[in-house]
Homo-oligomer: A and B are copies of this chain.
Amino acid sequence: MRLSRYFLPLLKETPSEATIASHRYMLRAGMVKQDSAGIYIWLPLGFKVLKKIENIVREEQNKSGAVEILMPTIQSAGHWKETGRYDAYGPEMLRIKDRSNRELLYGPTNEDMITDMFRTYVKSYKDLPQSLYHIQWKFRDERRPRFGVMRGREFLMKDAYSFDVDLESARLSYNKQFVAYLNTFDRLGLQAVPLRADAGPIGGDLSHEFLILAETGESKVYCHSDLLDMKAPGYVSEKDLQKVVDSRTSFYARSDEMHDQTKFEKIPENKRLVARGIEVGHIFQFGDKYSKPMNANVQGADGKVNPVMMGSYGVGVSRLVGGIIEASHDEVGIIWPKSVTPFGVGIINLKVGNDEVDKVCEDLYEKLKNSNIDPLYDDKNDRGGQKFARMDLIGLPYQIIVGPRGLGEGVVEVKVRLSGKKMNLTLEEAVNFIVNEYTSET
């Protein structure tokens, strides 16, 4: 993409309402614009990151065997009345009446709707197990929306729902999602910690939160520090699932709500970690909490009819955009992990209008495009300082800086955003370096 044809409205000043780094940088880098309280327009740069995160979440859900569907944003109040949640949910639910005065709502979650869908079609253990997910906008009418997309009102979430004939099988579905989450967050460049969680208003007994550590996190985390050194498991066969889950859950890891100081102090002192974290995922097994009141029953192999056993599994997709920035930025801007960067590399033309500089930049641009690196080419006629600051702010992992002085010596400058390291390379070396960075690992 040529910057001159892109829509990247940067802000020079930080709006006063932005108190945390991700909010500040997302506004300044032209990633989002608030339209009304807690409701954002995703501008081109922010949209690209959002889509990349969404696709990684999707790929890992598909690998886990979950099948994608899409439920609507607007729900009938009827299902929620069956489960008793319509009255219980409180003012965070956006309640709506249509032109015929029917009660609708903007879904904050989808257990009730999907249970209704499920009971319509599935009656037998033969059609189980089943895991379905969707990635859809939700609405929660927060009393005080803040921190940008981290606590917005309209937000994008992946929510999966599992249906099993008994608790043993339900545990397997739960474990598949647990492992999918470890792999998802790893691919996003995040170290996520699974905390033992209270099932909260959704209810049930087996539940974990996934948090990423960041100073601005809303939760306090107590855990064994070895958890932070564990690698993502990658593909895990069904028979090894429990082992992999146990290898994490055997460590103490809880938020302050569930914290037990006595248990925490059994960890060797040099391994006790107290930090702040941002919740980016939450998984629940809740048995027949919804299937029982809604009569979502299935016949087992023994001929008996019982409520189907369910679980639900959420990932805050739009929140992750902010979460990744909280975990990866410095004093001048964002530093994107390679897997979610909006563009693979930035090309900075230091002398637009100079034939040789223009030619080398165009050449680089074409070569990198053809190598599927998706470059952003700063072809605007601005000062060098402005170009450097802009490229640092938007945080692409690599920059190639092309100016007449370097070209006189046959080189361009390659800068690694994270380390700040700079290298003078020939054109060919520069392209090879970038391509290699994107293909050699992960």
Contact = CB atoms under 8 A, between A and B. Distances in A.
A105 to B, nearest CB: 10
A242 B95 CA distance: 49
B33 A74 contact: no
A388 interface: no
Contacts of A75: 35-36, 39
Residue in A72, A91, A130, A154 with the greatest tally of chain B CB atoms within 10 Å: A72
A65 B44 CA distance: 13
A127 to B, nearest CB: 8
Given A70-B47, A94-B98, A76 B36 contact: yes
A407 interface: no
Interface string A47-81: 11010000000000000010111111111101000
B5 A154 contact: no
A372 B65 CA distance: 18
A39 B69 contact: no
Interface string A88-121: 0001101010110010101000000100110011
Contacts of A251: none
- Per assembly, the copies of the chain total 2
Contacts of A102: 36-37
B42 A69 contact: yes
Interface stretch (A136-144, A391-399, A427-435): A136-144
A41 B132 CA distance: 12
Contacts of A139: 74
Contact of A41 (B72, B122, B137, B154): B72
Report, as a range, how many residues of chain A touch the other chain.
Answer: 35 or more
A235 interface: no
Nearest to A143: B99
Contacts of A154: 72-74
B71 A44 contact: no
A435 B141 CA distance: 50
A137 B139 CA distance: 14
Given A9-B122, A137-B137, A69 B44 contact: yes
Contacts of A86: none
Interface string A123-160: 00000001010000101010100000000011000000
A72 B120 contact: no
Contacts of A122: 9
Given A36-B104, A104-B36, A71 B7 contact: no
Given A137-B137, A141-B99, A143-B99, A44 B67 contact: yes
A6 interface: yes
B44 A7 contact: no
A40 interface: yes
Contacts of A137: 72-73, 137
Interface in A12-43: 30, 33, 35-37, 39-43
A168 B346 CA distance: 33
Contact of A69 (B43, B78, B94): B43
A80 to B, nearest CB: 12
Nearest to A41: B71
A106 B74 contact: yes
Contacts of A130: 7
A143 B73 CA distance: 19
A96 B98 CA distance: 9
Nearest to A90: B99
A113 B69 contact: no
Given A37-B102, A44-B68, 7 more contacts: A7-B130, A7-B132, A39-B72, A41-B70, A44-B132, A73-B73, A74-B154
- The 10 A-B pairs of least Cβ separation, nearest first, read A9-B121, A36-B76, A42-B70, A91-B99, A72-B154, A39-B72, A99-B141, A44-B67, A41-B71, A47-B70
24 contacts: A5-B67, A6-B67, A7-B132, A9-B121, A35-B75, A35-B113, A35-B116, A35-B117, A36-B74, A37-B102, A39-B76, A41-B113, A41-B117, A42-B69, A44-B132, A47-B68, A72-B137, A74-B153, A91-B99, A92-B99, A96-B96, A98-B141, A99-B143, A106-B106
